[in-house]
Amino acid sequence: MIISYMDLRLIIFLVVMITVIDIFIGHKIENGKKPKGDRESCIRDILQEKLPNLSETSKFSKHNREGLLKGIFSLDDFLAIAMFILFLVIHRLKYVKDIGILYILIRGFRLITMSVTVLPQPNNNCKPPSERNMIDRWLSGGCNDSIFSGHTALMIILLLYISKGVKSNFMKLMMVLFMVGYSLLIIMLRNHYTVDVVLAWFISISTFILYENREYLFKKGYL
């Protein structure tokens, strides 16, 4: 889908708006609606128990980092930025409008799920907004807005559009394996529970399929 200048401005405005709302609600949940109990006393996460905990190291997790990037950008953030740059190299602005629309839809779904069920924070190193610097407060959501993983969902959407420019089945397989590894990384960083990542897979792929086939579904009267 080719994007016009007016469409691009509208998409950017809506993306920024839904992101700000998402962060605002995340902070509100953390400040006033987070559970009183800790995760160890009420939640059993099988993969978190079996996989290494990377949330303690400053090399991979933002929570214990010092210096200029203190509290900002974990390894999953850097990988997401790198993948978006790769997308721009392959497709330029060809699918930007589609990704923007899917971003808005997925963040909208996330606003609902994280508001109706609030879990204890998956990462004990996550600091409340009052203890973070201004940049970290606005780039990161709250500690308790876990359901579901926006990073996982949006990375899947990016890879699905990148795959449109990839003909090699081997490279597509590598992309799938990368996505599985990325999902495990998010769990090991303790940025999300396993259920958050699993839900992100279902929601992102389902949303992508429905969006890509919207004309056929409208024609058939399903939408």
State yes or no: is 91 an active-site residue.
no
CB 54 within 8 A of CB 188: yes
Mark whether 196 is an active-site residue: yes
Q: Which of 63, 98, 145, 151 is catalytic?
A: 151
192 is catalytic: yes
Residues identified as active-site = 151, 192, 196
